[in-house]
Amino acid sequence: AQKVTQAQTEISVVEKEDVTLDCVYETRDTTYYLFWYKQPPSGELVFLIRRNSFDEQNEISGRYSWNFQKSTSSFNFTITASQVVDSAVYFCALSGFTGRRALTFGSGTRLQVQP
Amino acid sequence: NAGVTQTPKFQVLKTGQSMTLQCAQDMNHEYMSWYRQDPGMGLRLIHYSVGAGITDQGEVPNGYNVSRSTTEDFPLRLLSAAPSQTSVYFCASSWGGRNTEAFFGQGTRLTVV
């Protein structure tokens, strides 16, 4: 069975602070995908990143960066110099590499960025 | 491009009523799935399909039926609505290839009274 844990229910920061959202996962699969999605107040789900389990390179995209550590089953997401527009619920998710491709989601972390 | 289209966006049902949530995608994706989102629980998989004519249950399938007669459409049927089915429902689709992301519809907010 797959499981994704986002222990931080809610985080509040002041604009320009850096913030890290934690994600820990469990799976018996040897190859899998990890994802982060953003859900702004408008409610849609916005894809942020996909990571293959056999690619442990960290990734940076603008103010966003992701730290994948297979040894600790973690896939953490850092926002540098946060902005009010980053306020949203962020979901970490996991899917298998073959067969069923449906996502197993964490419970989400609500990020509030105060001006 | 329309992407993944869900209808309706909002719906209020009475307990015991039945209805169908529609989901259509125009990207020729093989994989489609339905999730429900409840406060504090993230999104949970209801049913999924790996292609036309093939469906299977997810984590929380009770009270829901699906069918996939075409690649494009994947409707979700509530057989006899219950207040516990009050939720936001999302449909998603993705390619069958290796490097793929799931594209989500805008969601349907369902209230059962």
Give yes or no for a contact between A103 and A2, defined as CB atoms under 8 angstroms apart: no
Among A24-33, A63-72, A95-104, the range scoring the smallest mean pLDDT is A95-104
Residue A92: is its pLDDT beyond 90?
A: yes
pLDDT in tens, B10-52: 999 999 999 999 999 999 999 999 999 998 888 999 999 989 9
d(CA B67, CA B59): 17
Residues B58, A97: C-beta atoms closer than 8 Å: no
Residue A6: is its pLDDT beyond 70?
A: yes
- Show residues of chain A in contact with B87, CB under 8 Å: none
| pLDDT tier for residue A81 given thresholds of 50, 70 and 90 | very high
Q: Which residues contact A62 (CB under 8 A, 6 or more apart)?
A: none
Please tell me the distance in Å from A39's CA to the nearest CA on chain B: 11
CA angle, residues A11, A17, A22, in degrees to nearest 5: 40
Give the rounded percent of residues in chain A with a pLDDT score beyond 70. 97
- Indicate if the alpha-carbon torsion angle A4, A108, A77, B32 is positive or negative: positive
The alpha carbon of residue A109 and the mean position of all alpha carbons in its chain are separated, in whole angstroms, by 9
Chain A touched by B38 (CB under 8 Å): no
| pLDDT, mean of residues B78-98 | 90
Residue B7: is its pLDDT beyond 80?
A: yes
- Show residues of chain A in contact with B43, CB under 8 Å: 91, 93, 103, 105
- Show residues of chain B in contact with A52, CB under 8 Å: 99
Q: What confidence score (pLDDT) does residue B97 get?
A: 63
Residue A60: is its pLDDT beyond 90?
A: no
